[in-house]
Amino acid sequence: MKKWLKKITQKINVILNQRLTPYQLALSLVLSLVISLFPVIGLTTLVVTFVAAYFKLNFPIMISLAYLMEPVKLFLIVPFIKLGAKIFNVKHSLLTFSAIKNSFSLSVSDTLQELAYELICGFMGWAVTVIPIGIMMYFILKKLCVKFLNSQKAGFSIHEMPSS
């Protein structure tokens, strides 16, 4: 177990020692979290790749975090839709697999229209929760990254951090 943990911490140290500024590291983490929680399945890898390339951020950190957050996204899709429906003050309709399946068997076009509506509600629920939290996290992580990267420059590794 110790060898495995040591190997993981060494890999994390290699990724973090790529001469990233605290801004880049914090932005990589926060944008990856915000994008990975967007309530649409199947877009995360493409969007994270584009954002990492465009802003010259750390792609390995971003894609790893995005994949780690995938189960959380699946857990949050329905609450995002419900929150969006409350914001719009309307009822949502297709929130179970059996309801979606039955709806498709009745009318494909009506189902796609309703699913588009659910997507808009999910987007609104995501926007009012994840974006403000992401902004706050950015400032907190930026300060933590400054401390962490300064300790790295002083010669400490991730598992040898000095006690404050």
pLDDT digits (tens, 9 = 90+) for 109-123: 777 777 788 888 889
Residue 161 lies in a domain: no
Among 15-29, 89-103, 124-138, the range of highest mean pLDDT = 124-138
Band (pLDDT 50/70/90 cuts) for residue 60 is confident
Residue 147 lies in a domain: yes
* Stated pTM of the model: 0.73
Helix, coil or strand: residue 43: coil
End-to-end CA distance of the chain: 28
Residue 64 lies in a domain: yes
Residue 160 lies in a domain: no
pLDDT at 68 exceeding the cut of 90: yes
Residue 12 lies in a domain: no
Q: What is the tally of structural domains in the chain?
A: 1
pLDDT (tens digit per residue) in 128-146 = 999 999 999 999 999 988 8
Q: Could you tell me which of 29, 24, 122 has the C-alpha nearest to residue 73?
A: 122
What type of residue is 79?
Answer: P
- Residue 64 domain boundaries: 20-153
